[in-house]
A and B are shown apart, each in its own frame.
Chain A
């Protein structure tokens, strides 16, 4: 089928702003990336670079006063009558029936903080059963069976007994699994996981990553994995988008990102992390300065003030565009700009 070679989700020049009294926070500033069916897109970047806002823009669950002010979010639908129809999520009303059926149905979202994703006053069982009955016409008993099966599938021991637990009774690792179980009951074609392992220990992280890979093999869903951890990206992603201050600065297959990085930010980031499997304990190559606040975004290339290759008069004069430097490898940096 040709649709396997076409992106299931295409984000083009997305711009999401938060107009506040103090000024406008440009949280996402023209970001573009694609998600291929059955594959994992890793989105990596330091805190505040717009990863979560981009994800919440796709789900259309932005906090007020956040709004999408530009760009497209093209989603290839695959359910019932609308199968293969491409819709623009960015132009939908955030309360429309269409986005509601996509959200929690075809596209599922797992939060960074699993504590807030379950209601503390209902049992886990009731919440999962409700999620199932929202999308399927099925009896309570039937939904209960599916819920037990889902908890079992994500490796929660004694699944049936857990149905009557409240989320605060579970450990962080189990809560994150239960959250994934709840999203899986709708059989999503895309799972967006926003820092799913950041609050977990390495051992629980390894368990969860393994679970996500298994589920992907079984269900063929695409995963958008958002994280600041380059180790997690290397392990899980097929393709990687590197974000800096609301923009995608480099987008490439995972092997290229780690073995042939092009953007000065990607290069610097890779050099600055200590590596567990290397014998040297030399000084780390640090990146000077800090990520600027999106209020005072520097003119031109946002990475300019921290960049070792900064070209005055060029890099601070205009914003470099994301351009293909090799097949499926895109970079936004004037070092690679042969346009003029």
Chain B
């Protein structure tokens, strides 16, 4: 294993540096590469042990691809993903292969968006939730049943349901099944990609509460990917904002929502309709569409939609910088702009 210990500060569980994932665009009979989709284009962030980092941004900005790189569901094009294993070893996930990669997989688990398509309809809950144990040769058949019963109880389902098939369950219950499966191997990091987006509001609250309870009980660390800013604000300790493959801002949650420093963050926050008719506020309405990641604009990728853009913004690409303690921004004008948030300071 690589000697990377010294480069990951003690409180951090994960640190992503200069992560890139480019998908080739191929055309014609010879499948020649005619271009590249810069799905993730130089992303830097870290997650502290035991916290929840929210990752937000409009669709297509690279959230899922970032998550998939961390899980090594895809191979990153470039960059480093330092991770502290349960043996307290620091590894670079981006470099791992074979048995080393397999070993790390039990430490990082995923919860998916769609509780309908992510479960195999022909497998009972026992098979679905117990599969990760079986694949890793953990325990006897009897041990596995006990563990599945325990997991079902943990996520608020009755252990007697073990021999049923997923079709008998509602959306919220299926999401609980997905959570139980993710927890089977006692992971350290849980990557949840839009875990409540497909759920009804009344059920969404149940699942968010469950995730918070499990974090408290098991000391889990979450990377919570979502496009719903109210949900992200509720669950996250810190929030990272992505735009066209790049991280544009990262800060503690209350700070990001009260004093955003990037014009894109401020516009996103202001676009969220508030469930209160008396609070009709002046909106910043972003014009145009998210830039094409196969052909991003020059300079700051946000400049064509930004009302604060200057000549410099068209020419130079800003880099992510820590402007105050723990508040990272990538904008040429971050220090001079005073932007409005949605929370009182």
Residues of chain A whose beta carbon lies under 8 Å from any beta carbon of chain B: 46-47, 171, 173-174, 201-207, 209-210, 228-235, 237, 254-255, 258-259, 268-270, 272-277, 279, 281, 283-288, 290-291, 306
Report the Cα distance A65→B324, complex, angstroms: 62
Q: For the complex, what is the distance from the CA of A287 to the CA of B205, rounded to whole Å?
A: 8
4 nearest interchain CB pairs? A231-B273, A274-B234, A286-B205, A287-B202
* B residues 244-288 touching A (CB-CB < 8 Å): 253-254, 257, 267-269, 271-280, 283, 285-287
Report if B307 contacts A (CB, 8 A): no
CB A223 to nearest CB in B, in angstroms, measures: 15
Residues of B near A174 (CB, < 8 A) are 289
A339 and B290 CA atoms in complex are apart in Å by 57
A284 to B205, CA, bound (A): 6
Q: Say whether, besides A171-B289, A279-B254, A284-B234, A46 and B201 are in contact (CB < 8 Å).
A: yes
Residues on B lying within 8 angstroms of A by beta carbon are 58-59, 170-173, 200-206, 208-209, 212, 227, 229-231, 233-235, 253-254, 257, 267-269, 271-280, 283, 285-287, 289-290, 342-344
Q: Judging by beta carbons under 8 Å apart, are A274 and B254 in contact?
A: no
> Which residue in chain A gives the minimum CB-CB distance to B289?
A171
B273 neighbours in A (Cβ, 8 Å): 205-206, 209, 229, 231-232, 234-235
Collect the chain B residues with CB atoms within 8 Å of residue A201's CB: 58-59, 227, 290
Tell which of B205, B254, B257 touches A285, judged by Cβ atoms closer than 8 Å.
Answer: B205
Interface pair B200/A291, CB less than 8 Å apart: yes
Cross-chain contact A286 with B200 (CB below 8 angstroms) = no
Chain A residues with CB under 8 A of B269: 276
Q: Which residues of A contact B286 (CB under 8 A)?
A: 203, 206-207
A47-B200, A269-B202, A273-B230 known; A258+B170 contact, CB < 8 A: no
- Nearest CB of chain B from residue A278's CB, rounded to whole Å: 8
Partner of B285, one of A47, A210, A228: A210
Minimum CB–CB distance for A266 against chain B, Å: 12
Q: Is A231 a contact of B200 with CB atoms below 8 Å? A: no
A-B contact pairs, 6 of them (CB 8 A): A205-B271, A206-B286, A231-B274, A234-B275, A276-B272, A286-B202
B254→A235 contact, CB < 8 A: no
- Chain A residues, Cβ within 8 Å of B229: 202, 276
